Amino acid sequence: MTPMQYTLLSVFIVSLVSLVGVFFLSFKTELLKKMLMYLVSFSTGALLGNVFLHLIPEVIQENQENLIWVLGGILFSFVIEKFIHWRHCHDLECTTHVHPVGPLVIIGDAVHNILDGILIATAYLVSIPVGISTTIAVLLHEIPQELGDFAILIHSGMSKGKALLFNFFSALTAFIGVGIVIGLSQSIANIEMILLPLAAGNFLYIAGSDLIPELHKDTRLKGAAIQLTMMIVGIGLMYGLSL
């Protein structure tokens, strides 16, 4: 398979995660809350592991000065969160979440998914292994995120079927991100060496400002121990992929 085929397949698989709500509909609320926190912990470790074990080493290997773009990625993510409200809920009780109604959830999710498409396509421009590790990191983050968004859509008054359908259509906007990267790569040489550190900054921002604060909601020592364990497992997964 070519890197482009890997990219399209990866983005399609990540898009399918938007339908994950169907699988969890039969779970009891308390059990689902616990599972979400474990998934958030796991995805936090995977995002951080991907940044420090795959993305940043690739950036440094090419040109250490490109690390400045990591800061650019963090600032860009901050701007997106402030003005487009892309930040997602990773809980089932999202009535006070930044998205007040269903349509805003869909818009914010679409913007986020476009960025996911850019991240995955950029990683495959560097190499297939980096693309695969980035896809896994995005995939793990998408599962609790999509469950949270699904809960918000249901809370806004949508039927379960309609919420799943809109979630899936929103997820398909990731292909727009792929198209953007393809267009840039054809007109700008080595564009991946700018986009890759931006992607690293984006992952760092998501882990630091979105996921880790969610984990702090559980103040129990046992909960913290499980969260730390799941984070280490996520990092270990990324380390295993680097071997």
pLDDT tens-digit readout, 22-49: 676 666 667 777 777 888 899 999 999 9
* SS3 label, residue 148: helix
Question: Alpha helices of 156-220 — where are they, by DSSP H?
Answer: 160-171, 174-187, 192-205, 212-215
Element (H, E) at 86: none
CA 125 to CA 142: how far, in whole Å? 22
The amino acid that residue 110 corresponds to is: A
Average pLDDT on 10-19 reads: 90
Whether 69 and 198 have beta carbons less than 8 Å apart is answered as: yes
- pTM of model > 0.85: no
* Residue 142: burial class (beta carbons within 10 Å; 0-12, 13-18, 19+): buried
Top-confidence residue, 49 or 223: 49
181-209 confidence digits (pLDDT tens): 999 998 888 888 889 999 999 899 989 88
Contact 191, 185 (CB under 8 A): yes
Q: Which residues contact 196 (CB under 8 A, 6 or more apart)?
A: 55, 58, 59, 66, 69, 122, 123, 126
Farthest-apart Cα atoms in the chain, separation: 52
